[in-house]
Each structure stands twice: as structure tokens, then as C-alpha cells.
Amino acid sequence: GYTDLEKEKIARHFLVPKQMKTHGLTESMADFRDEAVQSIIDYYTREAGVRQLEREIAAVCRKIAREVSGKRQRKTIVVNREKLRSLLGPPKFQPHYAETAPEVGVATGLAWTEVGGELLPVETMTMPGKGNLLLTGKLGDVMQESAKAALSIIRSRAEQYGTPKDFQSNLDIHVHIPEGAIPKDGPSAGVALICSMISALSGRPVSQDVAMTGEITLRGKVLKIGGLKEKVLAAHRAKIARVILPEENRDDLEDIPQEARESIQFILVKTVDEVVEQALLGPSGAKATSPPTRARKMPRRMPSHPRANS
């Protein structure tokens, strides 16, 4: 996976010149602005690599070549955001950004997909009932089991987390993960699920500058997860300031691009209690005062030669 800045550099230095040459275009025929490249990355592709980015650039060059060939007097065609819409049509995707204000019952998880990492918002609400747990959003079996484990932990520590002691006898809990058309599964959503549920039950909002990933056990431990690089890059694209992840993934941070490591504060945790302390705001809206566990400073690495995923 690449950061957006890496994708932009690959496009400007390799993909755009290559496709312009392939389609017989010169700089006097087409002026490919940086803002157009960034718009293609943001609104017309959703991937970890650059294959689709190259396809979209090729489509732009092909249409410009057709437009140029039909004119007797050649005038440089400026490819900017406005021109891009007329060439590629309406945006295919909308960038995912974190919510700007803390909300009760809403936590931001991180998921791995075939096209890279994605934000995984988890919503929980309570209603009068008899302790039923309702799960919606096309969740797989593993994620449903994580939600049940989260509920068991909360019930065993109700007083500690500030949730009603008898909530299981007079409240139903509905957990929903939006974009239900997309199947979602895996144990790494455990920490986001339990934060969302505790928030809804206790009335404490979840800080929206933090995203999280980690598997949970019934003993409240947070276990190592996979796909960390893709998940962190998703948080980086969404301008997330802090990422909570398992302590066991500490060494995996060396694989994170320098640009993402410098802009994100990593909070390494071993237990669910630490996650709750860092992610949930107090009754007055003040953040937890205990200092987070910071990842060790990673050494700078020599930049590798850009190449598309195969």
C-alpha cells in the first residue's frame, strides 16, 4: 500500500508521462495539473496500489487525444478538477473522514479489505427491552462473536465502566456497522465494538480523533491483529490523529511509511481497560488525563523504488 503522497508522486513522475506518450500527447497538447491527479486518487479510485489510478489516467489521456485530433487549431487542454469531471463523469467514491465531534455510541474501527484499509464506524444505541443484542450491517460470524464477547466483558465490569448494573434485564442493545452491502468479518473490530457499546450504555462520548483495532478476549486482553499497514494508511487518509492498536503489533510499525508515522500518535495497549481510558471522554467532556503509551521512534528508511502491486 502507498500513502496518497506516494501515489501522487508515482502518478506525476511515472504514470502521467507514460500514458501521455502512449496516447501520442505532448506537453503542448495537455497540461495535467497536480490537482487533477489528487482528485483521481480521492474520488475515482479506492485501492492500496496504483493500478486503477493508471487506468483512470489512461482514460483521461485517451479522451484528450480524441478531443485534440478533432481540432484543426491546437490549444493546450488544461486538465484540472473541472475538466476531470467532464472527462471521467461524476465521482465514483467519496473520501472517508472521521467525525468532527464526539458522539455517544459511535466508535471508529479500522478494517482490512482487498483494496486496502478502510474506516469501520461502529454505532450502538440502546432501547427499552429484555437484554437482547441485535447486530446489523452484514457482519460475519467472527465479528458477531466479538460483539457477544464485548457484551459479556461489559456485563462483568458494569460498575467499573459506569454502565447500569441491570441493563441486561431492561435494555436491548442494537449494534450497527454502516454500508451493509459490504460483507465485514474478522476479530480485529473487538475494541471498536466494546468502546461503542460502553459509550451507549454509560452516556460517555467517544473521542472522534481516534481510530482503533484489536481483538479482545473474555479476560479483557487485546490481541495482535493483521493488516496493520493498510489500516494505519486508512487512518492517515482520513486525517486521524491517534490510533489505538495492540502492544503485540509494536514491531509491525516499522512497516508503516514515514509520512504516516510522523502524523499519527500510536497508542499501544494490552487491555480493554486501557482502550476505554484513552478513547472515551469523561462525563464533563474532558479526556482521560493519563499519558498514552507511545510507540518508540522508528528510524528513517531509504525510500524504495515505487512499483505497482502485482
Which DSSP string do the residues of 17-65 spell out, in sequence order? HHHHHHTT--TTTEEE-HHHHHHHHHHT---SSSHHHHHHHHHHHHHHH
Which residues are marked as active site? 188, 231
| Residues facing residue 173 across a β-bridge | 126, 133
In the numeric block, the cell 468532527 is attached to 100
Is 263 strand, coil or helix? helix
Distance CA 292, CA 301 (A): 26
Sequence-distant (≥ 6) Cβ neighbours of residue 138 within 8 angstroms:
177, 180, 181, 182, 183, 184
Largest CA distance in the chain: 80
Please answer whether residues 179 and 137 qualify as being in contact, where contact means their C-beta atoms are separated by less than 8 angstroms.
yes
**Eight-state DSSP code of residue 284:** T
